[in-house]
Amino acid sequence: MSATAGTEGGAPASRLERFRRIIEAAAGSAHADYGGYGKFWNLPLPELRQMELYGIAMMRASGGTGPAAAPTAPAATAPCCHHPAPAPRQASAAVSGEAGLIRGLRGQFPFDGTQFPPLPWGGARVAEPDIQLIEGWIAAGCPSPEEDSAPAGTVAAEATRHALSAGLAPHPEFTGSVNQLAHETGTLKARKNVVCLPDDELRRLRGAIREMRKLDDYPLDQRSFAYWAQIHANQCQHGWEEFLSWHRAYLYGFEKALQDIDPSVTLPYWDWAADVQNVKISIGDMGVGVTNPYDARDNGWVPEPFQCWIDEDGLKTLKDGGHVTQDTLTALQGKLGTKYCSGARLFADANIQFGVDPTSDKAIIAVLADINPLWHWRRWPGGNKDLIFEAYPTQDDVERILNIGDFFKFGSGPMSDQFFGALETIHNLIHNYSGGHCPPTWPIGQNNEFLTGDMVDPGRTARDPIFWAHHANVDRLWAEWQKRFPGAGPDDPSANLPPWSYDVSDMASTRNLGYEYMLASHVFQTNAHTPIQLFHSAPARVHPEVLVRHRRAEVRLHAIRYAMRPGYCIRVFLNQPDASIQTPTRGNPHYVGQISTFMGECVGGPGHCDAPVRSQDRFDLRPRPQKTPTNFVLDATAAVKALTVGESNIHVNLLVLNHDGSPATDAFHLGAVSLNFFD
pLDDT of residue 329: 95
Q: State the number of CA atoms in the 13 A half-sphere of 496 facing the CB.
A: 5
pLDDT at 75: 37
Question: How far is it, in rounded angstroms, from Cα 217 to Cα 514?
Answer: 31
Helices 312-321 and 358-371: crossing angle in degrees, nearest 10, is 150
How far is Cα 298 from Cα 292, in angstroms, rounded to an integer?
11
pLDDT at 157: 63
Cα angle: 602, vertex 608, 614; to 5 degrees: 130
- 633 phi and psi angles, rounded to 5 deg: -130, 130
Using an 8 Å Cβ cutoff, are 284 and 291 in contact?
no
User: CA-CA distance, 91 to 95, in Å (whole number)?
Assistant: 8
Q: Which residues contact 447 (CB under 8 A, 6 or more apart)?
A: 355, 358
Nearest one of 677, 676, 678, 679 to 556, comparing CA atoms: 676
Q: Is 285 helix (H, G, I), strand (E, B) or coil?
A: helix
Crossing angle for the helix pair 422-435 and 466-484, to the nearest 10 degrees:
160
pLDDT of residue 292: 55
What lies within 8 Å, CB to CB, of 361 at 6+ separation is 354, 355
Integer angstrom CA distances of residue 365 from 308, 314, 344, 362, 376 = 10, 11, 10, 5, 9
Q: What are phi and psi of 339, to 5 degrees?
A: -105, 140
Report the amino acid identity of residue 241: E
pLDDT of residue 679: 87
Dist CA 464 CA 446 (whole Å):
22
Q: What is 291-306 written as a DSSP string?
A: T-TTTTSS-----GGG
Q: Which residues pair with 557 in a beta bridge?
A: 632, 673
Element (H, E) at 88: none
Ranges of residues in the chain whose predicted pLDDT is under 50:
1, 4-10, 63-79, 81-97, 150-153, 288-291, 616
Cβ–Cβ < 8 Å for 443, 354: yes
CA 121 to chain centre: 26
Q: Return all residues near 611 (Cβ < 8 A) that are at least 6 apart.
A: 77, 78, 561, 562, 627, 628, 629
Report how far residue 503's alpha carbon sits from residue 533's, in angstroms, rounded to the nearest whole number.
Answer: 48
- Closest by CA to 102, choosing from 75, 133, 140, is 133
| DSSP per-residue string spanning 166-191 | BTSSPBPPP-S-HHHHHHHHT--EEE
CA distance 312 to 332: 10
pLDDT digits (tens, 9 = 90+) for 365-406: 999 999 999 999 999 999 888 888 889 999 999 999 999 999
* Closest CA relative to residue 423, chosen from 436, 408, 438, 435: 408
DSSP count for the chain of H helices, then E strands: 22, 16
- Of 541, 520, 474, 465, nearest to 303 by C-alpha is 465
How much helix, strand and coil, in percent to the nearest 5, is found in the chain?
35, 15, 50
- Residue 287: the pLDDT is 55
CB 669 within 8 A of CB 532: yes
Residue 642 CA to its chain's centroid (Å): 29
What's the confidence (pLDDT) of residue 444? 59
Q: What is the pLDDT of residue 497?
A: 94
